[in-house]
Structure 1
Amino acid sequence: MARKVRVFVKDSSQHVILKSLDKLTVFRDEEDCIAFKTFLQECNTGHTLAIHAYVLMPHYFEFLATPSNEDALSKFMQSLGRKYVGYFNKKYHRTGTIWEGRYKSSLVENTRFLFDIMIYIEKTAPEGHSFSSKEKNLHNKKDDIVTYSGLYKELGFTDEQRVQKYATLFSSKADEKKVEFITACLEKQNVTGSLEFIKNIEKIVGIALSSKERGRPKKEEIEKGKKMYKNLVILDREKHKEFKINPLTDLNFAKSATHIPLLASEVSQVSTTFPIVFTADETPSLVAIVSLGTDSLAITQDGKWITSYVPSYLRKYPFSLAATKEKPEQKMILIDEDSSLFSKSKGKQLFKKDGEKSETLDHAINFLTSYEQQMSVTLNVAKIISQSGILEDREISVGEGEEKKVLVNGFKVVNREKLNALSDDILADWVRKGIIAMIDAHLKSLENIQTLFEIVQKRQN
């Protein structure tokens, strides 16, 4: 596949992310983060890159910057990546790269999206996280890495005024559609900007930048923009000491989900009702298609799953796991603080009177830990299948010719002929590992595309 064309426009910022290989934890302790920041400053000697916002997270480095020239960003990233690989491999006695591949970047329309992206980046940093630009932009703390953008300076005539106005923007409720748009543009390396901005850039650079896929993710695409968590926060034994949780009986929090992530161990159970497919992104995963472009067909009007087995992705709600900043190998518990499952008057306590975890919370943590371990196995299996070259693009559509309407796209399925053409030793290995059984269930499940149409017809009737 051809590489995405990188576009440079003078005085326009770039939203950039550099991910680790196979979610390797590349920032394991404070020493690693300090070393990376040191290399970052060394590689930016002369400030050929004006960095406006950044964050170091266990598996990636993300930032917003304005390059001074066409080669500034690529040279900076190449030098930074190599220096840190050398440091990391020496410290942890390993060899080879630690990065997923080339960094991803998106040209930004500053006047519309600069502050949104700064906040988008900085809000991923946990509270008290020392390795982000939040302390500089939000509290005017010293940080030699950050250079204020012209738009930031226009927020006021003094640093105090700028911080106050930025804090107001930061605390405002996020526009979920805009967040989804920013996420999609970076992932696909499209321009984060309006159609008018893109057309002007196309005239300047002489390259077509817009496409049918450009813009905010369509409802019918298999993508990761559907979020059932509305307000994820770290579970705090003091702040949430009075929180009680009620049974998960209403699944309407996932009503807008067009697909549901699955574990490999769940495929056989879910495949009897819904089509199971592979996502078409660089890191494929297994999902069940539960919609034809509207709300979920798997959830009834009263919030019930239409079959007896509810996927574990839904059952772990309203809890989630994330890595801690000091010890990425350790995990912290997150909760959707706005979930209707939580109450202070009824339900089972999360914490005992002495502040220790209740049996209910222990059970939730064990479930989350098991889910994460199984998801790691699932992603590895999907990666193996994808690397074998047997997946092909597929879509769900109705009508033909000019009347054709695509309802769902952006997913892949196994090509049976390519599967059968694999070498005998590979097939034998896949049989022993249960991969072939899972693929058979996946292929059989595609018959359930018709089931989705039948559900739609019943609901219309």
Structure 2
Amino acid sequence: MARLPRLNLPHIPQHVVQRGNNRQATFVNTKDYTVYLDKLKKYANEYGVKVHAYVLMTNHVHLLLTPTTANGTSKLMQSLGRYYVRYFNTTYQRTGTLWEGRYKSTLVDTERYFLLVSRYIELNPVRAGMVSEPAKYTWSSYHHNALGKNICLLTEHDVYLALGLSSQKRQANYRALFVDEIPAKALTEIHAATNKMWVLGSKQFKQHIEMLSGRRSTPLPRGGDRRSENYKKQKDNQ
């Protein structure tokens, strides 16, 4: 079955995940993290991509980005991936691939899901049992969004800015979002949409994306629904 084209639309946030091949480590020491972030900033500026949130885990990365062009994210990830693989292979005297195939991504409904995805990203080290709270993990945008550390890589999204009139108020309101755990249903929804590269959002948002992109935003019904009226309508509209 042919792969559906990747959903890349300007000015719509994307949750991007890139994993190490066979779950191998992609960051070994402090310099590795700093090199990755430095080049992420360089290529984000070069290709007009705004970075809102990130976490660098030991064997994968999560990014929340908004491209200003249709191919900005793809160019960013390609250039960053190539540079970092060369750096990593040279540093650790290895050869071959580092990343697991293509990066995964999903378009994010700004109104309903932006802050949820930002929390999801910054809570990764907590869910992995690496730290007890996001402030204790170094390689995360939480230090900027919640604690006010200046990370020049980041661009604050309008949704984040709407949390308060001052930076202190925004940070306090952002920290308050972390008091409650993300529901299991929401975790599953984010994970599935990202890994299968569908769209994360409301029904109206998904319809809007389908109109702009000309491709499906959600999977077709499974076998048991093939005779349903909904399935027939979707087939007729393909």
Q: TM-score, normalised by structure 1?
A: 0.45
SS state at 1:69 partner: coil
Shift of the alpha carbon at 1:402?
A: 6.0
User: For residue 66 of structure 2, what is the aligned residue in structure 1?
Assistant: 66
Instruction: Work out which of the residue numbers 126, 140, 165 in structure 1 matches 2:148.
Output: 140
Shift of the alpha carbon at 1:176?
A: 1.7
Q: List gaps (5 residues or longer) in structure 1.
A: 215-394, 404-461
User: Which has more strand, going by share of residues?
Assistant: 1
Shift of the alpha carbon at 1:170?
A: 1.8
SS state at 1:170 partner: coil
Alpha-carbon RMSD across the aligned residues, in angstroms, is 2.0
User: For residue 193 of structure 1, what is the aligned residue in structure 2?
Assistant: 201
User: For residue 120 of structure 2, what is the aligned residue in structure 1?
Assistant: 120
Inter-partner Cα distance in structure 1 for 2:75 and 2:35: 19
- 1:183 matched to 2:191? The reply is yes
Q: Percent same amino acid at aligned positions?
A: 34
SS state at 2:151 partner: coil
Inter-partner Cα distance in structure 2 for 1:47 and 1:167: 31
User: For residue 105 of structure 1, what is the aligned residue in structure 2?
Assistant: 105
**Match runs of 1:215-364 below 5 Å:** none
Q: Is the 8 A contact 1:51 1:64 kept in 2?
A: yes
Shift of the alpha carbon at 1:7?
A: 1.9
Q: Is the 8 A contact 2:25 2:59 kept in 1?
A: yes
Q: Is the 8 A contact 2:26 2:58 kept in 1?
A: yes
User: For residue 36 of structure 2, what is the aligned residue in structure 1?
Assistant: 36
Instruction: Work out which of the residue numbers 137, 154, 164 in structure 2 matches 1:156.
Output: 164
Q: Which amino acid aligns with 2:10?
A: K
Q: Is the 8 A contact 1:185 1:191 kept in 2?
A: yes
User: For residue 206 of structure 1, what is the aligned residue in structure 2?
Assistant: 214
Shift of the alpha carbon at 1:46?
A: 4.5
User: For residue 21 of structure 2, what is the aligned residue in structure 1?
Assistant: 21
Q: Which amino acid aligns with 2:24?
A: L
CA distance 1:30–1:83, change in 2 (3 Å)? same
Inter-partner Cα distance in structure 2 for 1:41 and 1:164: 26
Inter-partner Cα distance in structure 2 for 1:199 and 1:167: 32
Shift of the alpha carbon at 1:39?
A: 1.6
Q: Is the 8 A contact 1:4 1:189 kept in 2?
A: no
SS state at 2:177 partner: helix
User: For residue 49 of structure 1, what is the aligned residue in structure 2?
Assistant: 49
Shift of the alpha carbon at 1:180?
A: 1.0
Inter-partner Cα distance in structure 2 for 1:162 and 1:121: 18
Q: Is the 8 A contact 2:47 2:75 kept in 1?
A: no
Shift of the alpha carbon at 1:155?
A: 0.8
Inter-partner Cα distance in structure 1 for 2:123 and 2:6: 26
CA distance 1:190–1:402, change in 2 (3 Å)? closer
CA distance 1:15–1:47, change in 2 (3 Å)? same
Inter-partner Cα distance in structure 1 for 2:218 and 2:33: 37
Inter-partner Cα distance in structure 2 for 1:146 and 1:213: 39
Deviations 1:293-332 (A, max 9, x none): xxxxxxxxxxxxxxxxxxxxxxxxxxxxxxxxxxxxxxxx
Deviations 1:64-93 (A, max 9, x none): 110010111011000000000011000111
Q: TM-score, normalised by structure 2?
A: 0.86
SS state at 1:35 partner: helix
Shift of the alpha carbon at 1:32?
A: 1.0
Shift of the alpha carbon at 1:212?
A: 3.1
SS state at 2:217 partner: coil
Shift of the alpha carbon at 1:199?
A: 1.2
Q: Is the 8 A contact 1:36 1:84 kept in 2?
A: yes
Inter-partner Cα distance in structure 2 for 1:213 and 1:162: 41
Count of aligned pairs:
219
User: For residue 456 of structure 1, what is the aligned residue in structure 2?
Assistant: none
Deviations 1:406-431 (A, max 9, x none): xxxxxxxxxxxxxxxxxxxxxxxxxx
Q: Which amino acid aligns with 2:143?
A: E
Inter-partner Cα distance in structure 1 for 2:108 and 2:95: 36
- 1:12 matched to 2:20? The reply is no
Inter-partner Cα distance in structure 2 for 1:201 and 1:173: 29
Q: Is the 8 A contact 2:8 2:73 kept in 1?
A: no
CA distance 1:95–1:46, change in 2 (3 Å)? closer
Deviations 1:172-197 (A, max 9, x none): 23222111101110111110012221
